[in-house]
Structure 1
Amino acid sequence: SPDLPETSGSCNVNIACPEGQPYFTLGESVVRITVYVGNLSGSGSGVLVNNTALDGKPYILTAEHNGLNFFTGAFATNDNLQNWEFEFNAHRPTCSNQQQPQNIISYTGCVLRMRSFDGGGNTGSDVALLEINDPSFQASTHRFAGWSRQNTAPASGYGIHHPSGDVKKISFFNGPAVPGVFSQQSTPLHWRLVWSATQSGHGVTEPGSSGSPIFDLSNDLVVGTLTGGAASCALRNAPDYYGMFWHQWDGNGSSSDRQLKPWLDPLNLDPQTLSGKNLSVDEFGLKAQRYFAYPNPSRSGGEVVLPKSVSSHWSVYDLQGRMLFQVEESNVLLAPQSSGTYIIKHRYENIQIPLIVQ
C-alpha cells in the first residue's frame, strides 16, 4: 500500500480529523506533486487556484524551489515538467492512519506559466504557477481555491499540505502571522508563523509540504505558499515561512513570466480577492451554469436569478471591494446601480459562489 505506513511525523493531523473536517472541502484543492528535475525526483505540494474568468483552467500554485536543482540552480526543463504528477484526494477517509486514501485522481504533465526567479525564496517570495496539460483533466470534478492579494497579515489560519509526500494533513496557527525575512531578502516577503496544538495532534510541516498554501481563517482564502522553516514534530514551536501572495501577484518582476496577475486575472478586473469555486455542481445541488443574468449585456442594470427557490443571501460589491448592498431573496436586482462591473457573492449555508456581472 503506497500510503501505509505513514511517512510523516506522528504529530501531524489528518484533514479528516475533527478539527480538519470544516475545511475538508476547501482542502480538495490541495495536491500532492511528484517533481522531476534533471535526473532527480522528489515530492511537493500545491493548490489548484481560481482565476477571474472562472473558466476552470488548471493552474497549480506552488513554490519555485520545488522545481529547482539546488546543485546547479537550473529549473526543471519542459521535458521534466511533462512527467510531473499531480494527485488530488490523497487523504485518509477518517482521522485514523489505518485506512488507505480512496478516489485519488492523478494527472501527469504541466507547463510553466510563471516563476519568481529568486533562487527559491533567496531574494523574493518563491512562487511558481503551473498549468496541468494532461488532456484527461476535468475541471468539473475539482475545487478551485480562492485567494487574497491584500497585504494584510492573517490573525490566524491553517495550512493544508503533504508532508514528506504523505497523505493530506492540516496544521493550524492561532497567533498572528507576521512579516518575516527568509534567507537573503532585504525586506520581509514571507509570512512568519508558529503552529498550534489541536485536539488530534500538533500539525507542523516537513519536506514535501513545500509549495502548499496557507489560508486566512477569516475568509478561507490563500494568502501564501510555503518556502521553508524549522518546524517539525521535534521542534513544534519553530517558525515556518510562507511567500506572501500579494508580492507574488506582481512583485517579482514586470514580465508575465514573473507575475501571477496576467494568469489569475485574465479579465483585468484587478480584484483584491477572489472566492473559491466548484465548477461542477455547487454545494446546494444546482449546476453553476444555471445562474441567469439578464438582460446581458445591459446598459441600465439587470437581474441575477436562480431557477429554483432556495434561501439565499446575496452581496454586491464594486471592483474596489466595497459592499454596495445585501439582500435575502432568490434573485438580486442591479437596476439601481450605475453602469459598470460588479462582483456578486451568493451564500447558501456558508458556501460562497462568486459571480462577475457586467
Structure 2
Amino acid sequence: MRITTLLALLLLSAIGLRAQIPTGGTPPSLTSEKQNLFPDLQDQRRSLPDLDLQKVLDEDAQGPGIRFAAPLAVDFRPDNAGTWTDLPNGDRVWRLYVRSRAAKALIAFYRDLSLPAGAELYMYAPDGQQVLGPYTAADITAEGRLMTGLLYGDEAVIEYLEPAAVRGQGYFRIDRIDHAYKPVARSEQTAGRDFGFGASLDCHIGADCELADPVADLKGSSCRIIVVVEEGSGYCTGNLINNTAEDGTPYIYTGFHCMDGYTPIFGLWRFDFQYRVAGCAPAVNEPLYYSLTGSTFRAGRRENDFLLLELDQEVPSNFSPHYLGWNRQAPPPDTSYMFHHPRGDVQKISRSTIQGSIFGGPIFWNNDVTTPRDHHYDVDFTEGNYEVGSSGAALLNKKGQMVGHLNGGNPDLEGCEFSQAWFGRLGLAWTGGGTPDTRLMDWLDPLGTDAMELGGLADSQPQVVTGTILTYFEKTPVGGVEVTLDLDGNSLKVTSAADGTFIFNNVGAANTYTLSFSKNTTASNGVSGADIIAIQRHILSLTDLTGPYRLLAADVNLSGSISALDIIAMRRVILAIETEFGPGIRSWTFLPDDFSFSDPEDPWNPAPPVSISSGNIADLQDVQVLAIKLGDVNDSVDGNK
C-alpha cells in the first residue's frame, strides 16, 4: 500500500523578532521632543526590486515546502543610503525608509554588524504604530549578523542611534529584505491570516490548560523555532533534550524536514521560549517570550527526519528551561503528549489516550521524500491537534520521556476531531546513518554509557544574574554603568545597556554573590543653577528637599551632610573650573530599590549599602537598582550620558 501524506512542514514565513528578553523602546525620531529635528523621508524612500511573484509561486508548486516570504537582495549601508541627522547633544541618527510594493510584511537581515556601547537599532512602521527594538550589541550573533522583523505592511523605517561618545564606531550592512507575499497573523481576532499569534485553529488546547497537568513541568523544553534559509524564513517546533553528562548542553531536537531542500543559515535561527498564554482562557493579547539566536548543526538524517542543533549560547535559568529525558527502546506509548507551536502560534498541547503503534510501511511524503518502513510511531490524537509549524515537536510518553518527534500525518483541519500523526522514532535515530553527523548517540551519550533511557533535567544551566538600573525619581534608564559581580573573590563585569538592563550569563557556583555599581561620567550632567537654588533654599530652611534620594544627591562632596561646600563644588563644575565634585568622587552613586531608610530625613545614618549581596543567586535575578546622579535634585539628568 502506497501512503502519500503531508509533512507537518515548516512554512517559510515572516516573523516578529524581539530582543533576547523582550523590551520596548522609542526611536529618537518618534519622541515628541525630537521629532521636529528630523526631515521628512518621503522623498528619500527607497523602492525595492519588485518580487517576481509568479516565479515564486511556480517554485512553491515544485518545492518541498510552502513558502511565506521570499528574499530580495539589497545593499544598504550608512555610507551609501539613508539620511544622517545630528542631534544637539552630539548624538546622531541614521534613518532608511524602504518599500517593497504589495508586501504583507517585511524582515531585514544585517551582516558585518558592529554596535558600540549605547548604540541602538530600530525597525518601525512609518506611522509609528509598530516599533521593533531597540536592538543592541547583545542581540548580534557571533558572526556579526542580525534579523529584525516582521513588520506588517510594505513600508519600513530602519533607524540607528549612535551616541556622541562612540561617533563613527558603528557599522552594518543590510544585505537582504524578505518580502512576505502571503498573509500573516497579528492577533486571533484578525481573520484571513496564516501564521503567527492567533493563527492556529480555535480548537487547539493551550499549554497551560488542565490537560497538560501531568506533564506541566516539561513545558519549558519546547520552543518555537524561527527557521532562516537562503530561500526564505519559517516556523517549526524544537525541544531541549538532556544528555548522559547532564551538563545542560543546549541541544535542540527538531525535524530534518524543517530545512530539507533549502539552504539553512543556522547562525540566524531563533528559538523562542515561554511563548504561551497563562491560564486556559482564549488569548487576547500576545504574550512576551524569551529568545536566543544562533545555533550549530550537530547531526541530522533525512531517513529518520531528525535534526540535532546546539544553541550558540546557554539557556538562561530565567527562561525556565527543561531538558527532556528520553527512552530509545520504548514501545509505542499508550498515552502520549505533545507541546507544539502550530502555525507559529503560542504553545499548545495535544494528547492521545489510544495505544500507539509502529507504522509498518514506508511513507511517501509530499516533498518527494520517502522514509523507510518501521521508522515511525503511528499516533491518533484524542484531544488537540497539530498543524504546519508543529513539525519537530516531541512525542512524550506518560513518564514524560521523549520517544519520537512529529514528522507529519493527516491532521483534522476542520475541528480537531481526529488527527493521525507519524512520529520519527528516537531509537532508530540513535544509530541513524552510522556516523557522528547522522546519529544521536555521540551527542546524547557523550559518556559512552549505552543508556537505554535517561531522566529529564530541570534548570540545569549555570545561573544568571539580571537587573535594571533606573534614576531615583522619574525611573528613567541608566546605561553605561559598570556592574561588577563578585563570586567569592572572582569578578565578572558587564555594562548596563541603554535601557538600563544588565545580565550575567553562565554564572558559576559561589558561597556569596555580590553586585556593585560604578559610573563616572560628566559631573555637570543634570546639574544647573536650578539645583543650586533648591539646595540653597534647603540650607536656609526655606524649602526642604523632599526624600532621602534628593538629600543624597545634594551631598556632592560625600561628607554625610549638605552645606555651602556642596554648592561651591557644584558651581566650580558648572563653570568648568573642575571636572569632578572632589578628588576621587565619582559622579553617580547606587543603592537597591528595596532599601529602607531608618530615617528618611537623615539618609546617611546608617550609611546606605553600596552593594547587593546574597548567598542565594535567585535573589539576584531581576534586581532593581536606583541610580543617584550627584548634584541633580530635580531629575534632569540624561541617564545615558
Tell me the equivalent position of 1:179. 358
* RMSD over equivalenced CA pairs, Å: 2.0
Q: Which amino acid aligns with 2:256?
A: E
Tell me the equivalent position of 1:255. 435
How far off is 1:279 after superposition?
A: 3.3
**Conserved in 1, the CA contact under 8 Å of 2:231 and 2:262?**
no
**Conserved in 1, the CA contact under 8 Å of 2:187 and 2:286?**
no
**Alpha-carbon distance in structure 1 between the residues aligned to 2:447 and 2:338:** 29
Tell me the equivalent position of 1:108. 293
Tell me the equivalent position of 1:65. 257
Q: Which amino acid aligns with 2:212?
A: G
User: What does 1:214-293 align with in structure 2 at a 5 Å threshold?
Assistant: 214-217=395-398, 219-234=399-414, 236-250=417-431, 252-280=432-460
The structure carrying a bigger helix percent of its residues is 2
**Alpha-carbon distance in structure 2 between the residues aligned to 1:126 and 1:280:** 28
Q: How many residues align?
A: 260
How far off is 1:75 after superposition?
A: 4.4
Provide the secondary structure at the position in 2 that maps to 1:239: strand
Of 307, 328, 336, 1:157 maps to 336
Q: Which stretch shows the higher mean deviation, 9-18 or 138-147?
A: 138-147
User: Which TM-score applies when normalising by structure 2?
Assistant: 0.39
* Uncovered stretches (5+) of structure 1, i.e. residues with no partner: 119-123, 198-202, 282-358
Of 19, 25, 38, 2:230 maps to 38
**Alpha-carbon distance in structure 1 between the residues aligned to 2:250 and 2:409:** 28
User: What does 1:134-145 align with in structure 2 at a 5 Å threshold?
Assistant: 134=313, 137-138=315-316, 141-145=320-324
**Which consecutive aligned stretches of 4+ in structure 1 deviate over 6 angstroms post-superposition?**
none
How far off is 1:59 after superposition?
A: 0.1
Distance 1:206 1:259, change over 3 A: same
**Conserved in 2, the CA contact under 8 Å of 1:115 and 1:128?**
yes
Provide the secondary structure at the position in 2 that maps to 1:191: strand
| Residue 194 in structure 1 maps to residue 380 in structure 2 | yes
**Alpha-carbon distance in structure 2 between the residues aligned to 1:231 and 1:66:** 18
Provide the secondary structure at the position in 1 that maps to 2:437: helix
Distance 1:146 1:75, change over 3 A: farther
How far off is 1:22 after superposition?
A: 3.2
How far off is 1:63 after superposition?
A: 0.3
Structure number with greater Rg is 2
Q: 1:158-211 CA distances to partner (integer Å, 9 max, x unpaired)? A: 1110001000000011111111142234421001111103xxxxx111000000
The share of aligned pairs that are identical, in percent, is 30
Tell me the equivalent position of 2:248. 56
Provide the secondary structure at the position in 2 that maps to 1:205: coil
Q: Which amino acid aligns with 2:400?
A: D
- Which structure exhibits the higher relative contact order, with contacts defined as CA atoms closer than 8 Å and separated by 6 or more residues? 1
Of 272, 277, 280, 1:87 maps to 272
Q: 1:45-68 CA distances to partner (integer Å, 9 max, x unpaired)? A: 010000011111100000001112
Q: Which amino acid aligns with 1:164?
A: R
**Conserved in 2, the CA contact under 8 Å of 1:191 and 1:242?**
yes
How far off is 1:244 after superposition?
A: 0.4
Q: 1:47-92 CA distances to partner (integer Å, 9 max, x unpaired)? A: 0000011111100000001112xxxx2441xxx1111000110010
**Alpha-carbon distance in structure 2 between the residues aligned to 1:272 and 1:129:** 19
**Alpha-carbon distance in structure 1 between the residues aligned to 2:207 and 2:343:** 15
User: Which TM-score applies when normalising by structure 1?
Assistant: 0.69
How far off is 1:125 after superposition?
A: 1.9
Tell me the equivalent position of 1:334. none
**Alpha-carbon distance in structure 2 between the residues aligned to 1:38 and 1:159:** 30
Tell me the equivalent position of 1:322. none
User: What does 1:307-326 align with in structure 2 at a 5 Å threshold?
Assistant: none
Of 258, 281, 291, 1:96 maps to 281
